[in-house]
Structure 1
Amino acid sequence: MWTLPGRLAATALAASVAALTVIAVGLSAPASAATLFSDDFADGDSAGWSSTGGTWSVVTDGSPVLRQSGTSSDARSRAGSASWTDYAVTARIKPTAVNGGNRFVALLARAQSNTNYYYLALRSNSTVELKKLVGGSSTTLASAPAAFALGTWHTLALEVAGTSLRGTVDGVSLVTATDAQFASGQIGVATFNAAANIDNVLVTSGAPSSPSPSPSSSAAPSASPSASRSPSASPSPSGPPIPPLPGGPDGFATVAGYGTATTTGGAGGPTVTVSTTAAFLDYIARPGPYTIQVAGTITLPTGTTDGMHSVSSDKTIVGLGSTGRLTGGGLNVGIPVSDAVTTPPADAVHNVIIRNLTIDNSTDDLINVQMFSHHVWIDHNDLSRGGDGAVDIKRGSDLLTVSWNRFHDHYKTTLVGHDDANGAQDTGRLRVTYHHNFFDRSDQRNPRVRFSPLVHVYNNYYFDNSYGIASTNESGLFVEGNYFFSVNNPGRVEFSGPLGRMVERNNILVECNHPIEVRGSVPDPAGFYGYTVDPPASVPTLVPAGAGVGKVTS
């Protein structure tokens, strides 16, 4: 159902306007934004929309929605006034099927015809692009990583103000551009070789002439995990990236996505102390939130699991004092491996904290994160003598932070990306922050990265390593404020597969045989979260003093 100026039910309209206020990241909201248009399709039809291509109908998906069910061509549907100039359009869009690779669903603004408009395209390779179509020929104005999941609602917002354009996905401002091609036009939705459901379309006027940062005091992340797995039900950040809370997670583990606002682990659930193998394995596998305190040494069996023991969602596993230790086996954060799964499943493990533990002498990995697991914080651990990786992150996992750990007596330290043939699961995901880790004679893979659009590596101390960081398979690494001492090759863009990308800023190299290799461009992490880089000259003192167990202050 649509109206000019709008006819959503009063409560739904209030919610949508509030959501749009959150979504309009970085724009100073006008005193009273007028609603130009809204449609929730509650009347069961799509009157007021002009469609071309595809197969359009109003169906029920919990409530009435507009569905485009064809996947064989371009499809567009436009609405509103050709005279609209400065406005923000938002809609919930759920991709339901794609035909081939790198397909997209999109939101349109200033559409003058079916071949002339600006659009925000959320692609199946987990990127978002801010583009324009001129006479049917497209130009990309900006792009960034963004989660894409079939069967999941994503909230897209496209703002046009003068020559300024801004695109937002799931409450996070990701792409901006300046362009003067189109001054006015309708709004719309589109798909490219993809089927999708569309709901809650809202257009508000009064956008300012240029974007400017405007922090919101209501933007703090939720203190407890959301009980809902629906992205539309999760808190969304507003304003500029939020600084980390003292004693809490930071980096990519705090970025909203996949229906989760931030990483809280077992917050809100019972706290238990375990000192036996049986109790530990029982609690890490239980459903629901738990904070599991490890007292003393627990030996993990090998048995039929090769020493890897699965951790379920919403868990904090933390050592007591400086003596909490797991030995003989490792932790597996993720559902069983399936090469056939290429989009995040509903049961993907999420919201896990592993902290203040010594983990050593495993028969396989010390910590393995796999199969689209997300929102994981690995902090202040002592990791050594694993049979394979110390911390391996792979198979579509996303939004992790690895901080203040000491890695030592280990050969292949931390891998991001399963292998060169696993692009279907890994491309566009695997976003990880590594900061203030002590790579203490850990030989290599500190980390080695495939396919990730952005791994942020800052303020780590590299001491006597064969190589520090490697980028391959078109991955992007942003390397800043680190200290490399006696590292043969601090940062390299090579290995098997296509070359990667690496940007470096303000690193210190001492007694190293090669410089950090630089290639291509990489998104600035400051566009995703707030952080502070310590002076790199302080790293050799700061990091060994603070990394590892028994040093958590809050």
Structure 2
Amino acid sequence: MPTSRRTLLAGVAAAATLGSLARPAAALAAPSSPDGFAAVPALGLPGTTGGAAGPSVTVTNATDLAYYAGRNTPYTILVSGRITFDDMITVVADKTILGTGTTAVIDGGGLQLGSTTRPGNNVIIRNLTFVNASDDSISVTNGAHHVWIDHNDLSRGYDGLLDVKRASDYVTISWNHFHDHSKTTLVGHSDTYTADRGHLRVTYHHNFFEGTAQRHPRVRFGDPVHVYNNYFLNNELYAVASTEDAGVLVEANYFENVAHPAYVGYDKSGPGRLVERGNVYVNSGTPQTAGTVTEPRTYYAYTPDPAASVPSLVRAGAGVGRI
């Protein structure tokens, strides 16, 4: 049985320094609702609510985190302090995992949303720092749908920092800070995993991809994958790649010091489709484009911020301690 559990105390606040986005943290607020694909009613869910229907518990160690993440009932799991472990903890349906203050850290391990027998649907992950993962920091897999990953800090993992694959769907990735890593975020398991067709609808918005080399994201099969209002800075290899007939809309982003903002096809993967509109390119190359993409407004309403305002907005709002 778990060794610690308690209800969230209102008004948790802290001041700490974490990475280049650091500033004094505001009081921890209750999660608000997601936008983008995570908010779309589909597959029997009205949107993404996480563990709102269940109680709140606080965890300070990996044993308790794994226990509550694997329960078959809703929970809001409040992570306090640094939790160090290896490998992946499985998160099953109807969970919110929320860091308290600015010092909640997952060190050495990662979170896997769903297994082949226990789906990771309706999951929210917010306000956590992920570092030194021995595999992925966050893996959305095995058909998990309605997932919101928001206001986290992810760096220095072994494989992907945040991957969406194996027929997962209706995912929003927003206001995260990705840094000090190579293979950042993948959509689609592999060139041969054609079961991903018809799934992998993902929204990326207001993320800061700082000094990460590639995969922001690299997409296979998904259509549409909507990449808007993100800040790409000093990305060595490329920013976005659409492959294997994926449909990617790259909209109102800010690219700075990015030689290859967008590829159509990459490495051994066949070409996808990619549309760009309203982006700003500063000391950056020309994006590759091809074909047409399903319009995200088919699914949800949104109003992009002007691309020129993205660096200041994202620097001020992305990462931990901002909710």
Q: How high is the TM-score relative to the length of structure 2?
A: 0.88
2:150 corresponds in structure 1 to: 379
1:360-509 pair list within 5 angstroms: 360-423=131-194, 425-466=195-236, 467-495=238-266, 496-509=268-281
1:207-222 pair list within 5 angstroms: none
Give 1:498 shift: 2.6
1:253 corresponds in structure 2 to: 38
Distance across 2 between alignment mates of 1:381 and 1:348: 22
Distance across 2 between alignment mates of 1:382 and 1:353: 15
Distance across 2 between alignment mates of 1:273 and 1:259: 29
Give 1:497 shift: 3.3
Kept after mapping to 1: 8 A contact 2:113/2:119: no
Q: Kindly indicate whether residue 120 of structure 2 is the aligned counterpart of residue 335 of structure 1.
A: no
Q: Kindly indicate whether residue 97 of structure 2 is the aligned counterpart of residue 308 of structure 1.
A: no
Distance across 1 between alignment mates of 2:57 and 2:280: 43
Which of 303, 320, 328 aligns to 2:100? It is: 320
Encode CA deviations 1:148-169: one digit per residue, 9 max, x unaligned.
Answer: xxxxxxxxxxxxxxxxxxxxxx
Give 1:256 shift: 1.8
Distance across 2 between alignment mates of 1:531 and 1:410: 30
Distance across 1 between alignment mates of 2:224 and 2:38: 13
Amino acid aligned to 1:277? A
Distance across 1 between alignment mates of 2:100 and 2:269: 43
Q: How many residues align?
A: 291
SS at match of 1:543: helix
SS at match of 2:185: strand
SS at match of 1:281: helix
Structure with the larger strand share: 1
Structure 2 gap ranges (5+): 1-30
Amino acid aligned to 1:255? V
Distance across 2 between alignment mates of 1:350 and 1:500: 27
Amino acid aligned to 1:368? S
Structure 1 gap ranges (5+): 1-245, 337-344
Encode CA deviations 1:320-365: one digit per residue, 9 max, x unaligned.
Answer: 01111110100000213xxxxxxxx8x5320000000001101000
Give 1:280 shift: 1.3
Give 1:465 shift: 0.1
Give 1:446 shift: 0.5
Distance across 2 between alignment mates of 1:315 and 1:441: 31
Give 1:247 shift: 2.9
Amino acid aligned to 2:101? G
Which of 310, 314, 318 aligns to 1:539? It is: 310
Distance across 2 between alignment mates of 1:365 and 1:249: 23
1:60-209 pair list within 5 angstroms: none
Distance across 1 between alignment mates of 2:120 and 2:101: 27
Give 1:434 shift: 0.1
Which of 38, 41, 49 aligns to 1:264? It is: 49
Amino acid aligned to 2:91? V
Distance across 2 between alignment mates of 1:279 and 1:349: 18
Higher relative contact order (CA 8 A, sep 6+): 2
Distance across 1 between alignment mates of 2:256 and 2:281: 6
1:13 corresponds in structure 2 to: none
Q: Which has the larger radius of gyration?
A: 1
Distance across 2 between alignment mates of 1:489 and 1:351: 35
Kept after mapping to 1: 8 A contact 2:92/2:119: no
Amino acid aligned to 2:75? Y
Distance across 2 between alignment mates of 1:367 and 1:540: 25
Q: Kindly indicate whether residue 79 of structure 2 is the aligned counterpart of residue 288 of structure 1.
A: no
Distance across 2 between alignment mates of 1:348 and 1:408: 29
User: Which runs of at least 4 in structure 1 moved beyond 2 Å after TM superposition?
Assistant: none
Encode CA deviations 1:440-460: one digit per residue, 9 max, x unaligned.
Answer: 111100100000121000000
Distance across 1 between alignment mates of 2:259 and 2:110: 30
Amino acid aligned to 1:452? G
Aligned alpha-carbon RMSD (Å): 1.1
Distance across 1 between alignment mates of 2:122 and 2:306: 31
Encode CA deviations 1:466-502: one digit per residue, 9 max, x unaligned.
Answer: 2100000000001110000000100110112331000
Amino acid aligned to 1:508? V
Amino acid aligned to 1:419? S
Encode CA deviations 1:61-80: one digit per residue, 9 max, x unaligned.
Answer: xxxxxxxxxxxxxxxxxxxx
Distance across 1 between alignment mates of 2:130 and 2:253: 25
